[in-house]
Amino acid sequence: MGKQAPVPTELCSQPIAGLGGARRSGRDGHVLLARLGDWGPDSSSPLAFPVPPLIQSFEFPPASIGQLLYIPCVVSSGDMPIRITWRKDGQVIISGSGVTIESKEFMSSLQISSVSLKHNGNYTCIASNTAATVSRERQLIVRVPPRFVVQPNNQDGIYGKAGVLSCSVDGYPPPKVMWKHAKGSGNPQQYHPVPLTGRIQILPNSSLLIRHVLEEDIGYYLCQASNGVGTDISKSMFLTVKILYDSPFSLLCKLALPSE
């Protein structure tokens, strides 16, 4: 029996599990297709190695509330059968609640009938066959203009006690909230930013905390919110300060009332 020709060592670097002496090329990462005859005299059939899937690049366009969104995930090459699935923030997406997944042989589409804030997140298209599992991940950002969840309303504060001026907003990106104050009980002429000190601060829910209400706190307050999407919003309220006197009759005195 004649001596077999050696396989060029510069083309062979890593053995491929389960395929005898077949090896993967060390030069460009491609599979070296060899003939069985290179390793033995009994066959000359070429070895066929499965080709992994290749997912075409895709992007999420800028999205707004109520918009219809359609994103295709296309596999441009790879041996069939190929299974394509979607995940959001690591969780498998199942059709329902306005989200539809439609899959074909080499493509799967993600459809959202009415985009909302809950759809923000990282979406991953995953394609797998016998050769490999590959994926592409993209982020969906739904831009939502600010809106009031809780609007400011006129309220009373007790002198020397803590008071909270309620104001809560949402939107995406998260809105920036600023409080302004116009002193006095007359019609507000000019608002000035509320100085945030140890006595006064903005709470995580955007409400304004006054730790010790003073007479100087009387006046109109304006809660403003903006996030660069749509139109900024604002709502005013009036703070009345009351003084409680220690007496058997619990006399109460209002320091100011908003003008009509």
- pLDDT tens for the chain, 260 residues long, are 444 444 444 444 444 444 444 444 443 434 444 444 444 445 555 667 899 999 999 999 888 888 999 999 999 999 999 999 999 999 999 888 889 999 988 999 999 999 988 899 999 999 999 999 999 999 999 988 999 999 999 999 999 999 999 999 998 889 999 999 998 777 787 899 999 988 999 999 999 999 999 999 999 999 999 999 889 999 999 999 998 876 555 445 566 556 55
Q: What does the pLDDT read at residue 223?
A: 97
Q: Are both 248 and 150 inside the same structural domain?
A: yes
Query: Which residues constitute the domain of residue 122?
Result: 54-140
SS3 letters across the chain: CCCCCCCCHHHCCEECCCCCCCEECCCCCCECCCEHHHCCCCCCCECCCCCCCEECCCCCCCEECCCCEEEEEEEEECCCCCEEEEEECCEECCCECCEEEEECCCEEEEEECCCCHHHCEEEEEEEECCCCEEEEEEEECEEEEEEEEECCCCEEEECCCCEEECCEEEEECCCEEEEEEEECCCCCCCCEECCCCCCEEECCCCCEEECCCCHHHCEEEEEEEECCCCCCEEEEEEEEEEEECCCCCCCEEECCCCCC
Distance, in Å, from the CA atom of 177 to the CA atom of 233, rounded to the nearest integer, reads 10
CB count within 10 Å of CB 126 equals 19
Write the CA distances from 32 to 48, 51, 132, 201, integer angstroms.
Answer: 10, 13, 17, 68
Q: Are both 194 and 161 inside the same structural domain?
A: yes
Q: What does the pLDDT read at residue 26?
A: 40
Q: Are both 176 and 112 inside the same structural domain?
A: no
Q: Is residue 86 part of a domain?
A: yes
SS3 letters across 99-122: EEEEECCCEEEEEECCCCHHHCEE
Cβ contact 92:99 at 8 Å = no
Q: Are both 136 and 112 inside the same structural domain?
A: yes
**Phi, psi dihedrals of residue 235, rounded to the nearest 5°:** -150, 135
Q: End of a domain among 78, 108, 140?
A: 140
Q: Is residue 108 part of a domain?
A: yes
Query: In CATH, what number is assigned to the domain containing residue 93?
Result: 2.60.40.10
Phi-psi region of 219 (alpha: psi -120 to 50; beta: other; left: phi over 0): left
Q: Is residue 3 part of a domain?
A: no
Q: Is residue 213 part of a domain?
A: yes
Q: Are both 128 and 162 inside the same structural domain?
A: no
Cβ contact 224:243 at 8 Å = no
Q: Is residue 32 part of a domain?
A: yes
Q: Is the dihedral of CA 236, 166, 192, 154 positive or negative?
A: positive
Q: Are both 41 and 59 inside the same structural domain?
A: no
Domain count, the chain: 3
Q: Is residue 1 part of a domain?
A: no
Q: Are both 194 and 223 inside the same structural domain?
A: yes
Q: What does the pLDDT read at residue 39?
A: 46
Q: Is residue 23 part of a domain?
A: yes
Q: Are both 201 and 117 inside the same structural domain?
A: no
Q: Are both 241 and 150 inside the same structural domain?
A: yes
Q: Are both 35 and 133 inside the same structural domain?
A: no
Q: Are both 45 and 58 inside the same structural domain?
A: no
Q: End of a domain among 92, 125, 140?
A: 140
Instruction: Write down the pTM of the prediction.
Output: 0.58
Q: End of a domain among 105, 140, 175?
A: 140
Distance, in Å, from the CA atom of 127 to the CA atom of 150, rounded to the nearest integer, reads 45
Q: Are both 101 and 155 inside the same structural domain?
A: no
Q: Is residue 2 part of a domain?
A: no
Distance, in Å, from the CA atom of 154 to the CA atom of 165, rounded to the nearest integer, reads 9
Cβ contact 55:134 at 8 Å = yes
Distance, in Å, from the CA atom of 190 to the CA atom of 127, rounded to the nearest integer, reads 60
